[in-house]
Structure 1
Amino acid sequence: MLDAPRLPAPPSAPAETPTPARLGLTTAVVALGGLLFGFDTGVISGALLFIRTDFALNSFEEGAVISALLLGAAVGALGSGRPADRFGRKKVLVAIALTFTLGLLAAVLARNFAMLVAARAVLGLAVGGASTVVPLYLTEIAPPRLRGRLVTANQILLTVGILVSYLINLAYAGSADWRAMFAVGLVPSVAMLVGTLLIPESPEWRRGGAVTRDRSAHVALSSPLVRPALVIGVTLAAVQQFGGINSIIYYAPSIMARAGLPATNSITYSVAIGAVNVVMTIAAIPLIDRVGRRPLLLFSLTGMALSLAALGVALSLPTSSATNITALICMVTYVASFAIGLGPVFWILAAELFPPEARARGSAVCALVNWAANFIVGQLFLPAADLVGESWVFWSFATVSATAVAFVLRTVPETKNRSLTDVQRGLATRSHPRTRPATP
């Protein structure tokens, strides 16, 4: 017997238009999920230096501490779509904020390896949920002309979270206090928990866009009118990771050391990479809605492909001051290219392209693919570099980025300044010119 559907509000009921101040405050509160996303993925890089000593971890256990969050994030990303449809975006955001808080408390209080892995898995659930529901909620509350900027605010706070985690690591490195590193994250998590209790529900969900029957939701994702959005979202999710970004974010100090640069202060190298990531993501704000999604994607992927190809060449040459500096410049250029385009635009499109009845589930599937690819790259980068050499690994990343240029030219529509209804109708018409989309 099917569950009774939630009765939607009358279609003619006007949506509440938030004031600019309220819209800005709501965006800031919800985007704290992005900051915590970045903080919790980045803080382990410095904390692990001291955790391995306190808990006498071997290399397998160190990998498990890192991987627990990534696997938890994959589960959280996929599992957040159905509750977001059934119970609403706001309630799920409150649950995500509570999960962040509980996970951080568990990490601070962990007394052994097993407790820490469990805490990291809980944090992963929150990170994965935030990666799905935060862009989704911001997309649904934003006016068309501001939608790109509001969703990019989440990406900015994500990169800020990574940078803050590196700075916190640097601040507590002298005392080796890894528990304090985790504890700092409780400040934004509690702020998000309190703030999400006060924000309004998504007007798109209130108007009846939610699908409450599981069978209907799965049919929606497999529908010919939804499939083009799923193909674009899943492909860009994979490209974002198989284009190599987290090989740089996770392993920049190791790459620099292999290139011959001194790696005595690995946290400082990470701070520099994190700062470039933040600055270029901020630079994307005025461009997302002015220039558009497609041009930024094309520029970003081209810059990534060229930087990766050049990095591969630099790493294949005999070590010298010139090749070392070239490798460093290529890494910075690559991160800058990613941050100004593919980084924020993927999350925007993953929330824009799907129709209401498939938006939460579709975004969740895209986030799941992103986290699964993240896990694969994180686990295989160093073994692959040892097997075939760093140059070939980066050339393979360059090939993925170059191939994605052709994919964007062929399939990705422009969505700037268009209502969500127009975006989905246009995508359906473009992909199925003989099919007339149903009028909402």
Structure 2
Amino acid sequence: MVAKASQHSSRAALPALVSGPHTRRLGTVAVIATFGGLLFGYDTGVINGALDSMEESLGLTPATEGIMVSAILVGAAVGAFFIGRISDAFGRKPTINTLAILFFFAALACVLAPSWEFLTGARFLLGIAVGGASVTVPVFLAELAPTEQRGGLVSRNELMIVSGQLAAFTINAVIGSVWGEHDDVWRYMLSVAVLPAIALFIGMFRVPESPRWLIAKGRDDDALAVLKQIRSDDRAVAEMAEVRELADDEKEAKRARLADLVAEPWLRRILLVGVGLAVAQQLTGINSIMYYGTQVLQDSGFSQSGALIANVGAGVIAVVAMLVALRIINRVGRRTMLLLGFAGITVFHLLIGLSSTLIPEGLGRAVVVLIFVICFVGTMQGTIGPLVWLMLSEIFPLKLRGIGMGVTALVLWSTNFAVSLLFPILVAGIGISTTFFIFAVLNAGSFVFAATRVPETNGRSLEQLEADFSTGAVPTVANSAG
């Protein structure tokens, strides 16, 4: 409590933020760094419109298709687990630059792949870059951002991820319309990913190192020089004390072990909530649309080119919903948004399944399914998508936040892998309708889990949450006084 009180007092003493050249400098740094998020979104979303061409060119079956698509997620789990430690040792900036190189060569290997096995290996390597970016870029942004702007600046990375997916859907639609008859059109779609990788690599030479990392390495003068690039001089000097406190907190957190996370019953309950949220986010089936949306729309009645174009609608709605979520996420209770999200997703999964079953084949059914798919994507990206990551960062005590986030991120990526691997196999075996009915049942279960197990974290301190969990209570109402 003493450490926390001193931290709050040092923050209260900071000079107010003022605009100037340093503000533009920070904005430029954020744009460059979030190209990692753009690559994340593009490389995971581009497969969506490329699968039809791949099936013919590489002789894919539903099983090999699932393996090839989900290979990037296995790599992402590996990258998310190990790259954070590498960035702690060598710095955020050189780590992101190395990831840019890996993005480039892995994307190039995907373009030149002679077989589905080679492509699967290349996508695994691409996944390592995706997972590394997913943990390194948000940390880098958080360590550069002023305290007052940290949430908004870090959230730009989430926005860039869905923007990258939208870019992939749009470019796929354009390339598919122009060169759709070409046997290897999927290679053209994948090749675009090398461009933002080059931009990230070149741009990072203009970006400073994280001041918190520099202080952790005993390089205080370098850290102050970086802060003076992105703050006013008086603010930079005053903020050095805060950055030292944050660096000390981080050192203490790195000493935490998995055994510490399950040492007491209330900690085990928090871990259960975190793991449950991670699994529930992926069981929404969002990535069945992000990765296989074009095929879902074709099965519903669209032509190949029509499905490519219609799929762009899902990408647009994802970006718009994310923008809305970022504006309201601190004004509405976390549990309220979660419950509305799971309820809405359950309804739209049922409507997609019923439409595919009851409406006769043709353009009418295709349009109705598209509407419900767009509603599903908007509901997911406007509630559960950004909210789960935020709540995972809030529920764990500070000293255990690193290990807690690591465990839950691994669970999230693993669940993503399982859903992505099984989706095409399920669709081939039991059809679109039954598959979405299964999603509806799973999300109804997630609604019950959120209603009975997930605490309200908005407006509550870690001490309040700890007290409630330690007594077995689940705080379901935000305390505005907290």
TM-score bracket for the superposition, by shorter chain length: 0.7 to 0.9
In the alignment, which of 307, 311, 327 is matched to residue 270 of structure 1? Answer: 311
SS in 2 for 1:28: helix
Q: Counterparts of 2:401 and 2:89 in 1: how far apart (Å)? A: 12
Runs of 5+ consecutive residues of structure 2 not aligned to the other structure? 1-5, 213-242, 474-482
Counterpart in the other structure of 2:278 = 237
Aligned equivalents of 1:179, 1:348: Cα separation in 2: 36
2:442 is the alignment partner of 1:400: yes
Secondary structure at the aligned position of 2:330 is classed as: helix
Partner residue of 1:249?
290
Change (3 A) 1:195 1:209: farther
Deviation at 1:124, TM superposition (A): 0.4
Q: How do residues 8-407 of structure 1 correspond to structure 2 at under 5 angstroms?
A: 20-51=23-54, 61-83=64-86, 92-110=95-113, 113-138=116-141, 146-173=149-176, 174-175=178-179, 176=182, 178-196=186-204, 197-202=207-212, 203=243, 207-211=247-251, 216-224=256-264, 226-319=267-360, 323-407=365-449
Partners of 1:14 and 1:102 in 2: how far apart? 45
- Distance between the aligned counterparts of 2:159 and 2:199, measured in 1? 18
Equivalent position of 1:427 in the other structure: 465
Shift of 1:158: 0.9
Q: 1:253 to 1:216 in 2, by over 3 A?
A: closer
- Provide the rounded CA distance (Å) in 2 between the counterparts of 1:328 and 1:72: 31
Q: Structure 1 residues 230 and 98 mapped into 2: Cα distance closer, same or farther (>3 Å)?
A: farther
| TM-fit CA distance, 1:365 | 2.3
Corresponding residue of 2:479: none
CA contact (8 A) 1:166 1:270 kept: yes
Q: Tell me which structure has the larger Cα radius of gyration.
A: 2
Q: Do the aligned residues in 2 keep the contact of 1:80 with 1:133 (CA within 8 Å)? A: yes
Aligned mates of 1:363, 1:108 — CA distance in 2: 34
Is the contact made by 1:131 and 1:367 (CA closer than 8 Å) also made in structure 2? Answer: no
For residues 329 and 392 of structure 2, what CA distance do their matches in structure 1 show?
Answer: 15
Give the secondary structure class of the aligned counterpart of 1:290: coil
Give, in whole Å, the separation in 1 of the partners of 2:461 and 2:203: 31
- 1:364–1:195 Cα change, 3 Å: farther
Q: 1:308: Cα distance to partner?
A: 1.3
Structure 1: distance between partners of 2:452 and 2:246: 35
Identity %: 34
Q: Distance in 2 between matches of 1:14 and 1:193?
A: 36
Corresponding residue for residue 221 of structure 2: none
Deviation at 1:96, TM superposition (A): 3.2
Instruction: Note closer, same or farther for the CA distance 1:55–1:333 as it changes in structure 2 (3 Å cut).
Output: closer
In structure 2, what residue type is equivalent to 1:338?
A: M
Give the residue type in structure 2 aligned to 1:397. F
What is the distance in 2 between the residues matched to 1:355 and 1:132? 19
TM (norm. structure 2) is 0.75
**Alignment deviations for residues 40-62 of structure 1 (CA, whole Å, 9 cap, x no partner):** 01122334444555556666554
Q: Which moved more, 1:259-268 or 1:341-350?
A: 259-268
Residue by residue, what CA displacement relative to the aligned partner does 1:59-90 show, whole Å, maximum 9, x if unpaired? 65544432321221122223334445555655
Question: CA contact under 8 A between 1:249 and 1:270: conserved in structure 2?
Answer: no
2:124 partner letter: A
For the residues of structure 1 that align with 2:145 and 2:466, how far apart are their CA atoms? 22
Report the alpha carbon displacement of residue 148 of structure 1 after superposing the two structures with TM. Answer: 4.4
Secondary structure at the aligned position of 2:208 is classed as coil
Q: Is the 8 A contact 2:42 2:161 kept in 1?
A: yes
Cα distance in 1 between the residues matched to 2:244 and 2:335: 25
Q: CA, structure 1 residues 353+108, in 2 after alignment: closer, same or farther (shift >3 Å)?
A: same
* 1:346 shift after superposition: 1.4
- Mapping of 1:407-418 within 5 angstroms? 407-416=449-458
385 and 58 in structure 1: CA distance in 2 versus 1, 3 angstrom threshold: closer
Letter in 2 for 1:429: A
Tell me how far 1:336 sits from its aligned partner: 0.9
Structure 1: unaligned runs, 5 residues or longer: 1-9, 436-440
Amino acid across the alignment from 1:391: S
Q: TM-score of the superposition, structure 1-length normalised? A: 0.81
Q: Residue 172 and residue 388 in structure 1: after superposition, are their counterparts in 2 closer, same or farther (change >3 A)? A: closer
In structure 2, relative to structure 1, the CA distance for the partners of 1:43 and 1:386 (3 Å cut) is: closer
Whole-Å separation in 2 of the counterparts to 1:204 and 1:189: 33
Q: 1:234 to 1:286 in 2, by over 3 A?
A: same
CA distance in 1, matches of 2:57, 2:99: 30
Q: After the TM superposition, which of the residue ranges 154-163 and 207-216 deviates more from structure 2? A: 207-216
- How far apart, CA to CA, are the structure 2 residues paired with 1:205 and 1:336? 39
Distance in structure 2 (CA, Å) of the matches to 1:220 and 1:136: 23
1:305–1:100 distance in 2 versus 1, CA, 3 Å: same
> What are the Cα deviations for residues 385-427 of structure 1, in whole angstroms up to 9, with x where unaligned?
44444333222212222332333333434444x6xxx743333
Matched to 2:334, the amino acid is: R
C-alpha offsets along residues 370-397 of structure 1, whole Å, 9 cap, x if unaligned?
2222222222223334444433322221
- Provide, for residues 349-375 of structure 1, a one-character-per-residue CA deviation record: whole Å limited to 9, x for no partner: 223333444333322322222222222
Offset at residue 272 of structure 1 (A): 1.9
